[in-house]
Structure 1
Amino acid sequence: MAAFSGSLLHGVAEALGASEPALRLILSIFLGYPLALFHRYFLFKKPPSHIHLFNTVTGLCIAYFNFGSQLYHSLLCVVLHFLILRLMGRTVTAVFTGFSLQMGYLLFGYYYTATDNYDIKWTMPHCVLTLKLIGLAFDYYDGGKDKTTLTPEQQRYAVIGVPTLLEVCGFSYYYGGFLVGPQFCMMKYLSLVKGELSDVEGQIPNSVVPAMKRLSLGLFFLLVYMVLGPYLPDSYFLTEEYENRPFWYRCVYMTIWGKIMLYKYVTCWLVTEGVCILSGLGYNGKDEKGQPKWDACANMKVWLFETTPLFTGTIASFNINTNDWVARYVFKRLRFLGNKAISQAAALFFLAVWHGLHSGYLVCFSLEFVIVLVERQAIELVRDCPILSRISNMSVLQPPIYVVQQSIHWLFMGYPLVPFCLFTWDKWLKVYLSVYFIGHIFFISLLFALPYLRLVLVQKKDKLHKSH
């Protein structure tokens, strides 16, 4: 039977022009909807142990369907993490040990399974699990501290009670977030299990319509990616045909490719967000008008992602929960360093290593760091220069300025994604050579030029002020 189902899936995958692991992944993500419906109508307000067991069993089945016996990697890390928390208690030692174990296991997994291509293997959901368990260690540690020593955010996430093994397993294997996220904390998960995440107290949440909206949006992006993706393969960058194309064509291809390539992530996150909303995990209280909000598990701000002309806008709209996790457990925990730039660099370095051991990840996030610095400097220069401020605020010039901004924005969003997708230095270096390192030259030049221009501007304003 297993061989038959495997050959059937292989045949379907070939017909769709996809790999069998990719088909298994997308089927598993969509499987979350019937599981969420079962939770709504048969498990809502039922004993917590039943819900934890349901989430654990379904998550393990999904893991086995995708990765076979390799599911033991996640199970081993979950059990060991539970033992660390119970045996070491709410201590810095437990946090450090848990962090080292989870990151160490993930990095060894990357090392032993790495290839030069993007493969769907057990390390893919394991990187999601790694953040989830590390966050649990921090929150469990915070739960034992005096509330007055915690920030309001830390108080909201702190785990006050002592989680059982079944609770940790249910939290880790919850079907709506096991494979590709989103990230959520233990306290949020326990509120779901208790039936507290509903817009109507004590009743099943009215979340079907908002869940279907996110599902529909996810299907739209899936369709766009399936139609356009085959015409924009990563491998084309490494062909002689691409190298022999005119310079402008190479840049335009990189721009469009970068945009469409991200849609596969957008699709997965929107579909899983719909699952979380349907089960109730997406409930985020009510707004000032008393309307329920369902964005607690949102990993995408689609409108901002599609319309922002700013690099920081794209970062703020993309992979939101992971970025929030890094800000909460890495960036803010490094506040004692007293230097925001160092904390931000450390957070981006953590993100790069968390993604994998290939050099392309480090190059991608290093470029992102430089791009964000340059954009902030450019915004400050426009703000401080009266002439540039007037030009940027002229309504007649705003449409062409927006078009220019978007063109630059998406060209240089695609540029750092090249090493992110091609992984190894020999591949991404070949592509960067073909476009003459345009992104590096452009942004590094601006990184040094913009502060100088701003300094000159300030000095000129001071002289004018003194002359008056």
Structure 2
Amino acid sequence: MAAASGSLLHGAAEALGASEAALRLILSILSGYPLALFQRYFLFKKQPSHIHLFNTVTGLCIAYFNFGSQLYHSLLCIVLHFLILRLMGRTVTAILTSFCFQMGYLLSGYYYTATDDYDIKWTMPHCVLTLKLIGLAFDYYDGGKAKTSLSPEQQRSAVMGVPTLLEVCGFSYYYGGFLVGPQFSMCRYLNFVTGELTDVEGQRPNSILPAIKRLSLGLLFLATYMVFGPHLPDSYFLTEEYANQPFWYRCVYMTIWGKITLYKYVTCWLVTEGVCILSGLAYNEKDEKGQTQWNACANMKVWLFETTPLFTGTIASFNINTNDWVARYVFKRLRFLGNKAVSQGAALFFLAIWHGLHSGYLICFSLEFLIVMVERQVMDLVRDSPVLSHICSVPLLRPPLYVVQQLFHWLFMGYPLVPFCLFTWDKWLKVYTSVYFIGHIVFFLLLFALPYARKVLVKRKDKLQKSH
């Protein structure tokens, strides 16, 4: 039966032009919808232990369907994490131990399983689990502190009680977040299990239509990726044909490739968000207009992602939950360093090694750090320059300026994505050489030139003010 199923999936994957592992992944994500419907109609407001057990069993089945017996990696880390919290209590030692163990286990997994290509293997959901468990250790520690010493954000996530093993397993294996996220706190999960996350108290959440909308949007991105993705393979960068193309063509290819490549991540996050909405986990109270919000598990701000001409706008719209997690548990916890740039650099370094041990991840996030710094300097210069501010405010010039800005934006979004997708130094170095390291040159020149230009501008403004 298993062999027949594997053969059937393999044939279907070949017909779709995808790998069997990728097909298993998307089927597993889509399976969250019938599971969420079952939970809505048969488990809502039922015994919490039954819901924890349901989430644990379904999550383990999904893990086995995708990774077979290698599901023991997640089970081992969950049980050991539970023991760390129970034996060490609400202490800094527990946080450090859990952080070192979980990250060490993940990085060891990367070391022993990594190849030069992108593979869907047990480390993919394990990186999501790693953040979830480390976050639980921080929240459990915060639960033992005085409320006055916690920020409002920490108060919302602090775990006051002592989680049971079944609660930790249900939290970790919840079918709507096990494979690709999103991140959510133990407190949110427990409120979800007890039926508190609903727009009508005591009744099932009215979330079917919002879930269908998110699913439909995810499937639209999937269709777009399946149509254009095969024509824009990563491997083309390494061919002689690409190297022999005109420079402008290489840059245009990188621009379009970067945009379409991100759609595969957008697809997974939108579809899983729909599962979280359908089950009720994504309920986020009402906005100032009294409209019910279902965005607590949103990993994408699609409109912002598609329309922003800013690098910071794309970062703010993409993989939101992971970025929020890093901000909450890494960046903000490093305030004692007293240097925002150092804290930001450490957060990006953490993100890089969390993704994997390949040099491409470090290069990608280093470039992201550089690009954000340069963009902020450009915005400061435009704000301080009367001439540039006037040009940007002219209505007739706004459309062409927006188009130019978007072209520049997506070219240099695709540029750091090259090492992220090609992994090893010999591959991304070959691509960067073929485009003459244009991104590095442009941004390093701007990094040094913009502060000087702004300094000159400030001096001129001071002189004009004194003369008047």
Q: Judge same fold: TM > 0.5, yes or no.
A: yes
Equivalent residue number for residue 139 of structure 2: 139
Equivalent residue number for residue 323 of structure 2: 323
Which stretches of structure 1, 4 residues or longer, exceed 2 Å deviation after superposition?
A: none
Task: After TM superposition, list the pairs within 5 Å mapping 1:272-351 onto structure 2.
Answer: 272-351=272-351
Q: How big is each residue's C-alpha offset from its partner over 1:91-122, in whole Å with a ceiling of 9 and x where there is no partner?
A: 00000000000000000000000000000000
Equivalent residue number for residue 449 of structure 2: 449
Instruction: Give the SS at the match of 1:262.
Output: helix
Counterpart-to-counterpart distance in 1, 2:168 and 2:302: 32
Equivalent residue number for residue 249 of structure 2: 249
- The AA in structure 2 aligned to 1:383 is R
Equivalent residue number for residue 33 of structure 2: 33
Equivalent residue number for residue 7 of structure 1: 7
Task: Tell me if 1:366 matches 2:335.
Answer: no
What TM-score results when the alignment is normalised by the length of structure 2? 1.00
Counterpart-to-counterpart distance in 1, 2:287 and 2:403: 34
- Tell me how large the CA RMSD over aligned residues is: 0.4
What TM-score results when the alignment is normalised by the length of structure 1? 1.00
Instruction: Give the SS at the match of 2:395.
Output: coil
Equivalent residue number for residue 467 of structure 1: 467
Compute the displacement of 1:288 (Å): 1.6
Task: After TM superposition, list the pairs within 5 Å mapping 1:398-409 onto structure 2.
Answer: 398-409=398-409
Compute the displacement of 1:289 (Å): 2.1
Compute the displacement of 1:15 (Å): 0.8
Counterpart-to-counterpart distance in 1, 2:152 and 2:195: 24
Task: State how many pairs are aligned.
Answer: 468
- The AA in structure 2 aligned to 1:459 is K
Task: Tell me if 1:204 matches 2:219.
Answer: no
Paired-residue identity, %: 84
Q: How big is each residue's C-alpha offset from its partner over 1:14-38, in whole Å with a ceiling of 9 and x where there is no partner?
A: 1111110000000000000000000
Q: How big is each residue's C-alpha offset from its partner over 1:348-367, in whole Å with a ceiling of 9 and x where there is no partner?
A: 00000000000000000000
Counterpart-to-counterpart distance in 1, 2:289 and 2:384: 38
Task: After TM superposition, list the pairs within 5 Å mapping 1:18-417 onto structure 2.
Answer: 18-417=18-417
Instruction: Give the SS at the match of 1:21.
Output: helix
Q: How big is each residue's C-alpha offset from its partner over 1:167-221, in whole Å with a ceiling of 9 and x where there is no partner?
A: 0000000000000000000000000000000000000000000000000000000
Compute the displacement of 1:291 (Å): 1.5
- The AA in structure 2 aligned to 1:361 is Y
- The AA in structure 1 aligned to 2:356 is G
Compute the displacement of 1:261 (Å): 0.2
Q: How big is each residue's C-alpha offset from its partner over 1:43-88, in whole Å with a ceiling of 9 and x where there is no partner?
A: 0000000000000000000000000000000000000000000000
- The AA in structure 2 aligned to 1:380 is D
Counterpart-to-counterpart distance in 2, 1:393 and 1:320: 31
- The AA in structure 2 aligned to 1:96 is L
Compute the displacement of 1:465 (Å): 1.3
Q: How big is each residue's C-alpha offset from its partner over 1:301-338, in whole Å with a ceiling of 9 and x where there is no partner?
A: 00000000000000000000000000000000000111
Unaligned runs of 5+ in 2: none
Compute the displacement of 1:238 (Å): 0.2
- The AA in structure 2 aligned to 1:140 is Y
